[in-house]
Amino acid sequence: MNPIINRYDFVYLFDCKDGNPNGDPDAANAPRIDPQDMHGLVSDVCLKRKIRNFVLLAKQAKEPFDIFVQQGAVLNDKILDAHKGLGHDVDAKTKKATREQVGTARNRMCQRYYDVRAFGAVMSTGANAGQVRGPVQLSFSRSLDSILPLDLSITRMAVTDAKEANAPNQTMGRKNLIPYGLYRCHGFISANLAAETGFTDDDLGLLWEALKNMFDHDRSAARGTMAPQKLVVFKHSSTLGNAPAHKLFERVQVKRKAGVAAARLFADYDFVIDREALPAGIELMELI
């Protein structure tokens, strides 16, 4: 199939109740926050991981929907496999790839791996397949209101070895969570970069499917209840685009309802889309 020919910008809203949407390993896994205003943050990498995991489940790692960045994967081995499949006599140490071989290996990686086509990848390590800048880019997600990080104590009844069996107290642990947070993410899809990686309409449809369903396949007690709430897509009629993304995003307004002191549900917010006088060449789609 041919690459997409339209630019897309989108607003993605998701929430987390009684869980930790994205812990910071440098802060004892506490929920990420902006210390200036205490708004919650979720990294783009966090959402991309969930998208990758959904694609793996949906497509069972079958080409062209295999995933390059997987837990425990040795990336240099995958790069070398691409070269070997193309008949290139290279390795990671003594036989370096030529510029032409790097280019063909790069194209092969785009053909095989969904996440390379979508998000791009640095593949210049090992046997070297170059670098790819992906057409799909996500911003950090930011909560609409300040969040309340909680650090709770937990205990367990079992012990790990006999020395602990007669201890007077059960082993103590910690769990981080927030009571509630509604997060807003902005996404951008470039048709120009899609032409370079081969990102198609089928790939785009799979992205929308992942954003709708990925939280249902990523459940854990630590993450509480996470759910997508809104996905508003602005489709441009041209490759370069017909309006600035930030002006389109301003049309999507989310505010806490009057009289709600602390939001605990998505229903505690008013959600409004300004559909009037859209710029020429812009189609608005509400997918969730």
39-86 pLDDT, tens digit per residue, is 999 999 999 999 999 999 999 999 999 999 998 889 999 999 999 999
Judgement on whether residues 38 and 122 belong to the same structural domain of the protein: no
Give the pLDDT score at 168: 64
Is residue 72 located within the same domain as residue 111?
yes
Q: Verify that 37 and 54 share a domain, yes or no.
A: no
- Same domain? 113 vs 240: no
Residue 101 lies in a domain: yes
Residue 35, in any domain of the structure: yes
Q: Are residues 49 and 85 in the same domain?
A: yes
Sorting pLDDT into bands at 50, 70 and 90, what band is 213? very high
Q: 265: domain range?
A: 1-43+140-149+178-192+218-288
Average pLDDT over residues 233-262: 96
Whether residues 282 and 144 fall in one domain:
yes
**pTM of structure:** 0.92
Same domain, 22 and 145: yes
Together in a domain, 8 and 130: no
pLDDT band at 9 (very low <50, low <70, confident <90, very high): very high
Average pLDDT over residues 222-247: 96
Same structural domain for residues 251 and 270?
Answer: yes
Cis omega (within 30 of 0) on the bond before 64? yes
Say if 242 falls within a structural domain. Answer: yes
Are 76 and 32 in a shared domain? no
Confidence of residue 130 (pLDDT cuts 50, 70, 90): very high
Instruction: Tell me the average pLDDT of the chain.
Output: 93
Instruction: Look at the chain and report how many structural domains it folds into.
Output: 2
- 144 and 27 in a single domain? The answer is yes
Q: Work out whether strand 141-146 and strand 171-189 pair parallel, antiparallel, or are unpaired.
A: antiparallel
Residue 268 covered by a domain: yes
pLDDT of residue 160: 75
What pLDDT digit, counting tens, does each position of 144-190 carry?
Answer: 999 999 999 888 777 777 776 676 666 678 899 999 999 999 999 99
125 and 239 share a domain?
no
pLDDT of residue 1: 77
Classify residue 228: in a domain, yes or no.
yes
Residue 173 domain flag: no
pLDDT at 104 over 90: yes
Rounded-to-integer distance, Cα 261 and Cα 264, Å? 10
